[in-house]
A and B are shown apart, each in its own frame.
Chain A
Amino acid sequence: MDPILLIVLIVVAVLVVGGAGFAFLRGRGDHTPTLDPRATDTADSVLTKPTSPVAPTPDGDVDGGVDAAVDELDDEMVEEAAPEPEAATFRGRLSKARSAMSGYLSAILSGGDVNAETWDELEEALIRADVGVMATTEILDSVRETASESAVKDPGELIELVKDEMKRRLGGYDLTLAEGGEPSVWLFVGVNGVGKTTTIGKIATREVAAGRKIVLAAGDTFRAAAAEQLTMWAERAGAGIIRGAEGGDPSSVIFDAVESAAANGAEIVLADTAGRLHTKTNLMNELSKVRRVAEKGAGTVTETLLVIDATTGQNGLIQAREFTEAADLTGVVLTKLDGSAKGGIVVAVQNELDIPVKLVGLGEGPHDLIPFDANDFVDALFE
């Protein structure tokens, strides 16, 4: 698409609205959010640019402050994490919240023989769990075939068939995180706030504990203090970290990290990236570039993992589609699964894009990231 045309169009259109609408809408104050008699015109205020953009903080300066904070935070964290040193399990964590589907399921189970209503309720149950209309239809269609073949009457049996179908679809993938580069680069991508940095911190902790040499790449140069957050994780885990200037080029940070890992004999580079909405073409292009540049040196990108928040709805599918187009995903990390959301969206992602879930985040502690298990996941969805 040609931006020139669009800009011309916008200017003209806005001008028509602005010019023609001006006098007309003058004095129309009833819609402005009144904040205070003293407050100035809101429309103006919204447009006020930040007065003093902050210069990137010099590294040394930040480090001092951060170190102190790390100490304090460390104490807090250690205390918190102490009671649960062993790895989290699906069942243990997920039983905390009843699944969104449970209400439907008890209705189905108490509803007598399987009939049209049973199917409707099953459909609603799956949609209610964020599985999405399309994946739900496909799953139920294929169950319908099996069910009519074996003339299933018992609703309990039918639910088992649905679960089996979903387990079959979600399972059967190789979930190990691939290596093979010198170093291997694992790239973490996703929209804002899904837990990329935290996921990297947890993986770093796990891999370092397993005796691996890890370098973290603070490729999120956009969000304020993202690099500090990753630095704290690096220190906690005992991994190396390479960071760049705030607002700097993420590709070069990750490239540097790969070079540093290669020079120091580290096996894996965990590369963080800034959260980005998949609708921002320029940011998605930047991501493609990050992916390319990460392989310019000694390293090989062996995993590109999309981090998805379990609360995500149907937009997660669009996210997966766009991110895999930009960066060629190898898997999904499903985070925040210890909440009330059950992450049904990964079923849709698997169904349409054939991208498996590899890891699941079940809490804030470093040991709360565990390999995905289709059986446990589906069982939990239906509990």
Chain B
Amino acid sequence: MFDTLTDRFDGIFGKLRGKGKLSEKDVDEALREIRLALLEADVNFEVVKSLVARIRERAVGDELSKALNPGQQIVKIVLEELTESLGGEAMQITFAAKPPTVVLMAGLQGSGKTTNSAKLANMFKSQGRNVLLVGADLQRPAAVEQLRTLGRQIDVPVFSEASDPVTVARASLEEAKNTGRDVIIVDTAGRLAIDAELMEEVRQISEAVSPKYTFLVVDAMTGQDAVTVAESFHSTLELDGVILTKLDGDARGGAALSVKEVVGRPIAFASTGEKIDEFETFYPDRLASRILGMGDIETLIEKAEAAFEEDEAEEAAQRLMEGTFTLDDFLQQMQQIKKMGPIGNLLGMMPGMPKEVRDVEIEDHHVNRLEAIIRSMTVEERTDPKIIDASRRTRIANGSGMKPQDVSALVTQFTEMKKMMAKLGVTPKAKPKRKGKKNKRKRGGGRTTSKGKQALADPTAVLNEGLDDITDLKLPGLEIEDPRTSGS
């Protein structure tokens, strides 16, 4: 019943997609669904109203009548409006000409200020900055201790003293100067927006350090109250941006939309997991497409770029298309992909993934088990898994500490996948030479076929086609009963 926004939209657009022409009734029905979906995703009521009004205006205007496929047209309108509401572009962080650059973190209790102070510090540090974390949360027991522990983990010094938050913040400037730190991140205590005394305190902290950036840390699960909170913090502190936390849950979108719309400040970063490096720059268009169930292919590509050995990956991709991909290639690529972060997170970024698939938890140990199986194979077996008979299977199973049926499962699924990829594969000749060329990225140009060079020119299209095929396939493993939907 209570599906996430993405699932909800999946349903709505699934209905619309099949239509050649939309009646006004269709539009109304779609809008009603969109309204409910947004409300259930905790988008603020007022924001929903204006968003739906804008979508309706565009949908029933002449824009729609000219459209080839009205269903697609509505999808496009919703996507554009969502993107716009979330803020057009990613926030650019610049550092003060005269260090230190001070960043102030504020927010309600439990929104994740301390953790995200450390995550931000880690990000800046990896960009070559000398960060100083400042523990100005003297309220919550052990908050400073938590920050110190995190600081040790990322090897960033933490400054705090047992006085009062304003004094600590002020003293940290001196400390930064003395220790040669050029970025200061001040973690403050959680406070309620209506607590006048504590809001005054955080205003004084801000005054003491004059931050270049003041971030409001907002829990992605926040309900309708997000607007009230953002408004009060904004009126006290002049926010520069928002850090959206706990985005790895299934509550994504709502609060972000509301806050952005009401305060008019961008969402700068998103925290997407418990690990310290699960923290990224927030891309509004990406979240909008994620909300619409269109995946987050750009982040995926970016991560892939960072993790892959270019030539190797290209070669492997080619072999995959030709059908000469071996388990050895698979093993190698799997290791590269592991560098891209938790493998389960990648799944959520892929377009067109059904909810059942997205919800499956993939742990690193699953990957390790697969690795173990492949490593227990001989070279011949890896090249030609067909030769694996019962006795080889038992040997591999024993060698890897797995069950023989696990070995079979891997081999079967690997073979299926290979067949499928080969089927949609592109001959190497059709592959245009693109090296060193700066192609402009084409967006939203509709779907292209998987064959020929056009397909390869747009990896998203290839992937979309491929995934359609994959999810159409009724492989044994894909018949899942989702406890969430079956339970309600």
* Selected contact of B221 from candidates A42, A128, A222, A316, CB within 8 Å: A316
* Residues of the B chain whose Cβ atoms lie less than 8 Å from the Cβ of A17: 297, 300-301, 304, 459-460, 463
Q: Write the chain A residue with the least CB distance to B95.
A: A36
Q: For the complex, give the distance between the alpha carbons of A222 and B275 in Å.
A: 11
The reply to whether B330 and A11 form a contact with Cβ atoms under 8 Å apart is: yes
Q: Report the interface size class on chain A.
A: 35 or more
**Given known A-B contacts A42-B281, A100-B224, A224-B146, A1 and B314 have beta carbons under 8 A apart:** no
Contacts A26-B436, A31-B298, A54-B149 given; 8 further ones with Cβ under 8 A?
Answer: A6-B362, A8-B413, A18-B313, A20-B462, A35-B93, A40-B126, A40-B128, A325-B487
The reply to whether B459 and A24 form a contact with Cβ atoms under 8 Å apart is: yes
Q: Which residues of B contact A (CB under 8 A)?
A: 1-2, 36, 39-42, 45, 90-95, 108-112, 122-124, 126-129, 138-150, 152-155, 162, 192-194, 219, 221-226, 228-229, 232, 246, 248-251, 254-255, 274, 276-277, 279-281, 283, 297-298, 300-308, 310, 313-318, 320, 330, 333-334, 336-337, 339-341, 343, 346-347, 350, 356-357, 359-363, 366-367, 370, 406, 409-410, 413-414, 417, 421, 434-439, 441, 456-457, 459-460, 462-463, 466-467, 470, 475-478, 480, 483-484, 487-488
Chain A 299-322: CB-based contact to B (< 8 A → 1; otherwise 0): 000000000011111111111011
Question: Which of B224, B302, B314, B483 has the most chain A CB atoms closer than 10 A to its own CB?
Answer: B224
* Residues of the A chain whose Cβ atoms lie less than 8 Å from the Cβ of B148: 225
The reply to whether A24 and B457 form a contact with Cβ atoms under 8 Å apart is: yes
The reply to whether A14 and B346 form a contact with Cβ atoms under 8 Å apart is: yes
* Selected contact of A31 from candidates B138, B145, B249, B283, CB within 8 Å: B283
Mind listing 27 A-B residue pairs with CB under 8 Å? A2-B477, A4-B413, A7-B366, A12-B417, A14-B333, A16-B320, A16-B466, A17-B301, A31-B90, A39-B127, A42-B127, A43-B306, A45-B127, A46-B126, A47-B339, A130-B225, A133-B36, A193-B219, A194-B110, A222-B274, A225-B148, A225-B149, A233-B141, A279-B249, A340-B193, A341-B224, A364-B139
* Residues of the A chain whose Cβ atoms lie less than 8 Å from the Cβ of B363: 3, 282
Is A22 at the interface (CB under 8 A from chain B)? yes
Is A178 at the interface (CB under 8 A from chain B)? no
* Residues of the A chain whose Cβ atoms lie less than 8 Å from the Cβ of B318: 19
* Residues of the A chain whose Cβ atoms lie less than 8 Å from the Cβ of B40: 132-133, 314
The reply to whether B439 and A314 form a contact with Cβ atoms under 8 Å apart is: no
Is A263 at the interface (CB under 8 A from chain B)? no
**Taking the nearest CB of chain B, how far is it from the CB of A81, in angstroms?**
12
* Residues of the B chain whose Cβ atoms lie less than 8 Å from the Cβ of A280: 248, 361
Is A50 at the interface (CB under 8 A from chain B)? yes
Is A336 at the interface (CB under 8 A from chain B)? yes
* Residues of the A chain whose Cβ atoms lie less than 8 Å from the Cβ of B153: 50, 52-54, 224
Q: For the complex, give the distance between the alpha carbons of A188 and B110 in Å.
A: 16
* Residues of the A chain whose Cβ atoms lie less than 8 Å from the Cβ of B229: 311, 339-341
**Taking the nearest CB of chain A, how far is it from the CB of B124, in angstroms?**
7
* Residues of the B chain whose Cβ atoms lie less than 8 Å from the Cβ of A82: none
Segment of A66-74, A155-163, A254-262, A287-295 in the binding face: A66-74
The reply to whether A69 and B95 form a contact with Cβ atoms under 8 Å apart is: no
The reply to whether B477 and A45 form a contact with Cβ atoms under 8 Å apart is: no
* Residues of the B chain whose Cβ atoms lie less than 8 Å from the Cβ of A73: 138, 141
* Selected contact of A43 from candidates B45, B305, B316, B488, CB within 8 Å: B305
Q: For the complex, give the distance between the alpha carbons of A314 and B470 in Å.
A: 32
**Taking the nearest CB of chain B, how far is it from the CB of A20, in angstroms?**
4
Q: For the complex, give the distance between the alpha carbons of A65 and B160 in Å.
A: 13
**Taking the nearest CB of chain A, how far is it from the CB of B281, in angstroms?**
4
* Residues of the B chain whose Cβ atoms lie less than 8 Å from the Cβ of A5: 409, 413, 475, 477-478
Q: Which residues of A contact B (CB under 8 A)?
A: 1-28, 31-36, 38-54, 57, 62, 65-66, 69-70, 72-73, 76, 96-97, 100, 124, 127-130, 132-134, 191-195, 198, 201, 222-226, 228-229, 231-233, 246, 277-282, 309-319, 321-322, 325, 336, 338-342, 344-345, 364
The reply to whether B145 and A336 form a contact with Cβ atoms under 8 Å apart is: no
**Taking the nearest CB of chain B, how far is it from the CB of A351, in angstroms?**
12
The reply to whether A33 and B277 form a contact with Cβ atoms under 8 Å apart is: no
The reply to whether B459 and A130 form a contact with Cβ atoms under 8 Å apart is: no
* Residues of the B chain whose Cβ atoms lie less than 8 Å from the Cβ of A229: 140-143, 145-146
Q: For the complex, give the distance between the alpha carbons of A130 and B302 in Å.
A: 37
Count CB-based A-B contacts (< 8 Å): 394
The reply to whether B248 and A19 form a contact with Cβ atoms under 8 Å apart is: no
* Selected contact of A336 from candidates B41, B108, B129, B300, CB within 8 Å: B108
The reply to whether B141 and A228 form a contact with Cβ atoms under 8 Å apart is: yes
* Residues of the B chain whose Cβ atoms lie less than 8 Å from the Cβ of A319: 221
The reply to whether B314 and A22 form a contact with Cβ atoms under 8 Å apart is: yes
**Taking the nearest CB of chain B, how far is it from the CB of A366, in angstroms?**
11
* Residues of the B chain whose Cβ atoms lie less than 8 Å from the Cβ of A13: 350, 463, 466-467, 470
* Selected contact of B109 from candidates A124, A193, A342, CB within 8 Å: A193
The reply to whether B223 and A311 form a contact with Cβ atoms under 8 Å apart is: yes
**Taking the nearest CB of chain A, how far is it from the CB of B265, in angstroms?**
16
Q: For the complex, give the distance between the alpha carbons of A124 and B129 in Å.
A: 48
* Residues of the B chain whose Cβ atoms lie less than 8 Å from the Cβ of A316: 221, 223
**Taking the nearest CB of chain B, how far is it from the CB of A194, in angstroms?**
6
* Residues of the B chain whose Cβ atoms lie less than 8 Å from the Cβ of A132: 2, 40
**Taking the nearest CB of chain B, how far is it from the CB of A191, in angstroms?**
7
* Residues of the B chain whose Cβ atoms lie less than 8 Å from the Cβ of A2: 409, 413, 476-478
* Residues of the B chain whose Cβ atoms lie less than 8 Å from the Cβ of A315: 42, 221, 249-251
The reply to whether B149 and A224 form a contact with Cβ atoms under 8 Å apart is: yes
* Residues of the B chain whose Cβ atoms lie less than 8 Å from the Cβ of A11: 330, 333-334, 337
**Taking the nearest CB of chain A, how far is it from the CB of B117, in angstroms?**
12
**Taking the nearest CB of chain B, how far is it from the CB of A132, in angstroms?**
7
Q: For the complex, give the distance between the alpha carbons of A130 and B39 in Å.
A: 9
The reply to whether B108 and A339 form a contact with Cβ atoms under 8 Å apart is: yes
**Taking the nearest CB of chain A, how far is it from the CB of B247, in angstroms?**
10
* Residues of the A chain whose Cβ atoms lie less than 8 Å from the Cβ of B457: 24
